Structures are given as C-alpha cells and as structure tokens.
Structure 1
Amino acid sequence: MSIAMMLIAYLLFTMADTTNKWMTLLGYPALQIAFTRYAFQLVITSAEVSYRGIERREITENFWPLVLRGAALASATVANFFALKYLSLSMYSAIMFSAPIFVSLIAWPMLGERVGPWRWFAILAGFIGVLIIVRPFHHNFHWAAIFSLYGAIALAFYSLLTRKLVQKVRPHVMQFFAGAFGAVVLLPFAIWVWVPVEPEVWLMMFWVGFTSWFGHEFLTRAHKHSGASVLMPYSYSFILYMTLAGYLFFDELPDWYTALGAVVIIASGLVIWVREKRLKSSEANA
C-alpha cells in the first residue's frame, strides 16, 4: 500500500509540474503561479486544520524552524517555476533528484550524521552527474538550470527541516504553515507582476494547488506506513513520469547528456540509500 501511495504522490507532482510549465509557456509569471499554488494550498489546509485542530505550542515552540522550512519550500517553488519555462521536464526532474545527494552532504554539519567513504563517493559521483546534465561550460548551457539546481538544494534543506520537525509538529499543521508562509510572502510579488487570468487558467491554477497538496498527503501517509529505507527507490518514478509527460505534451525527449547524468544521479542516490539502510540495520542490532 505504501509503495502505491509513493507512486501516486509522484504522479500527482508530475501533473502539477506539467501544468506549471504549460502556464509559464502561456505567458503567466512564475511568481503569480507560485502565489496561487500556495493560496489554494492555504484554503485546503485551513479546512483541514479547522477539522483536525492546531495546538498553539506546535507553532510557538517551533516557529523559526517552520519559517525556515517554509522559506526553503517557497523559494524552491519559485526557482523551479522559473526553470520549467525553459528546461525540458526530463532535465528538470533529473536535476531535482540531486536533492537526496545534497541531503546527505548537509546532514553531516546540520544533524551530525556520520558520512562514510562510500557515501562521500556517492556524493561526489552525484555532483558529476549534475555537471553532466547542466554542462556549465558547454555551448548548450542554459542559465535556467541554475534555478533548478538551487531548487534541489532548497528542497534538501526543506527535507532535513521536516525530518527535525516531524516528531514535534503534526503533518497537517506543517502543510498549513507552509501554505500560509508561501501565500503571505509571495502576495506582494504576485501583485507586482500580475497578469489577468482567463477562467480556464484559474482551473489550471486550482489544479496545481490541489495536486501539490494531495501529492504531499500521499507522500506523508506513505512514510507513516513504511520508512524511507523502503520507499526511497520508488521516488525515482518521478523522472520516468516527467520524461513521459514531456514527450506527450511538449514533444520533448532527453538528450544523451541528460540521460547519462540521470543514470549517474540515480545510481549515487541508491548507493546512499543502501548505506543508510545498512547503518540503521546495524544500529538496530547493536
């Protein structure tokens, strides 16, 4: 069941990102799309919070970590929406899945997690995979890849902050706070760049907010039933979904550099996953 939830979550994220790319190509600013994504999330999570309730201490005792988490997610969203206009969905998704590599790198100073030689090797290989995809010194290099790379780094911080908060703050409260933070912070920027919205585009914006929220719900529930050590390999379904969506909707196919870099990143992530799984197993048996 948890594996099915994981696959559904990344299918929903693919739907959201595909719709985002479509709207940016229609000429809608990334800041406007990002604001409406969080505004719709805020509406949905407000209804959920009114039903499930919220404890004041969850916010007051964890306010600054929640702010940093919200800032990491909101800035990653804006950067990714900028990048989606110019990058193929396959390239974008491959760069985004360097996030687990950044998680392993940042977890050492941030959480004090031990990083052994195998994980250092995987981190280095993952960076090489990113360079293969981005090609910073190649004539085909596009500046939008930098935005996508920043999005991956910001999501790594978001993931680590979530890991720290999950034992103190309930998931629906974190979803509500992230929606509120993103909507409030992005509102003045959205007003500044606002473009009149056609009725059918409003539906697309609502769809992005809904699929993003629903995807996070499936992701959270999947991790409640199974640990990350079981679920992590299935997250790479996102690259397959995005490649298929890019071909079907935008006639995009990954070039050899993107395909090779994606393989290197996936292999690096799986090495990190195997080492973490063995470390947790040895700790459990100690």
Structure 2
Amino acid sequence: MRIAVIGAKGQVGWELARRAPLLGHEALAWDMAELDITDAVAVDRALAVSGADAVINAAAYTAVDKAEQEPELAFAVNRDGPAHLAAACNRLHIPLLHISTDYVYDGNKPSPYVEDDPVAPLGVYGQSKAEGDDAVLRLLPRHLILRVSWVFGIHGHNFVKTMLRLAQEREELRVVADQFGCPTYAGDIADTLLELAGRTAEIDASGAWGTYHYCGAPATTWHGFASAIIEQAPAVEVLRVQTITAITTADYPTPAARPANSVLDSSRLAFRFGIQPRRWRDGLHALLVASYAG
C-alpha cells in the first residue's frame, strides 16, 4: 500500500514514515517544506500524481499558547489544510486519516470524553483543530479522524524532554496536578494509524468511517506524568532534581486555557477494530531507551 504521510517531520509523522516500510507499506513522506497544505493548488497537484492509496495527515500547528497570537496561521494549517486534503482525496476517491486532539473539549465533563460529546474548545488551537475536523467530516465520507492526547515521542519537542532538561538544571520541579489526561506515545499512534490504513477495504465494507479516540492508559495528571518520567530516567542521566511539587493551574497561568479534564474514552476503537490503548509507561520506557541507546 502506498501511503502519503503529511507532516513527516512532526512527532507522529516521523514515526509513520519510519514504521510504514516495516509493515510492508510504501511511505511518501512530506513535510511543509515539500507540501504546504495551506495551498489548495499544491495539495491537488501533489496528490494527483502521488499514486497514493491513502493519506495520513499528521501536520498541525501545535503551539497552543503561541496560537493565541497567531490565529490566522493556526487556522490556515489546522482548518484550511485538512479541508484542502479532504477535498483532494474526495476527488481522487482515496481515504484520509486525520489526527485531531483532546483540546477540542472544554474539560468540564467529570468523566472521560466519548466521540459523540459536543466540542467546546477553550482557545485558538482547539478551535482551529475542531474546525479542521468538521471540514474533513463535511468534505470526505471516507475519513477517519483520530483524536489523541498529550503526545510524546522520540522525535521533536515534548513534555518528556522538557522535564528531563529541567531536571538536569533544577532541584525542584513545579508541575500542574489538577489537569487530567492520557499521555500517548507517538509510536503507538503511528502503529494505530498504519493498521487502520491497511484495513480500508474492511472499513468500506462495514461503513466504519468516522471519528475515534486513541490515547495511552491509564489517565494521570501532568504531575503524575512528570513523576514517572523522573522515576524511569536512566541511571546514566545526571539529574539535579530532588522534589517534584504539585501545583494548581492557577499557580501556572498560560496565554491559552487548558481543559481540566481531557481524558479520552478509547472503547469505540477497541470495539470496532480490536485496537486497545497501550500503557503510556511502556511508551515512556521505549522513548527513554531509544534516547539513551549508545
């Protein structure tokens, strides 16, 4: 199967590009430098000659706080880009698998979010992603929207790498403990998307296109996640940190509001495809082993 991977230099896109050949797929890996998804004409031209059997969109503007100052760019990438991809895929009769986010929810629900819960984003990033999801849904029947949360991976910037860097510099880490979510390893997201891409004939037959949640298990807080990172850090890593102090969201104000609860229920994906959430601690271990190998 030939799969066009959009956003190939991001955390998930990088994993998609390197894992696809291992699963017998051919990956056409494009990042923004090779394909600007905000340019509808460029998207049409690239996909028309690609020979792709499916497209996976891992491209996104993910700077949550910066998006408050750059809304036009955030919407161009997160809303208009997916719309251009969906329209082109519809013309070419190929499916699109699109990555979305837990930040489309406001976090006020006391239990995990399911796919049918109404979206109510708190900031520009979440709103731009929600409108991108809506564009894909409207423009392309053969779509899978995969909402994920708290992504961390070997490649790129993420919370794990930030915590390890700060742990080398400081004796105390102050980490928010009243926001709940599900850390999710980029490699696991990539494996899930590639499996789904390889099952498009089955999805066509069952009519199982639509929106799904996928995240690591179990739910935790940023403080809990940080504690696990420091706990699992290899002995070869010299860390100064002595204390990880739990603080509130109010103690750490940011330009963009974050949902207090962004825990996602992944049971629909498990029921329809047999894909179970992986323990995020396993993904964390894989990242740490890869980062310090050699």
Mark yes or no: TM-score above 0.5: no
Give me the TM-score of the superposition, normalised by structure 2: 0.28
Give me the TM-score of the superposition, normalised by structure 1: 0.28
Q: Which has the higher contact order (CA 8 A, sep 6+)?
A: 1
Which structure dedicates a bigger proportion of its chain to strand?
2
Which structure dedicates a bigger proportion of its chain to helix?
1
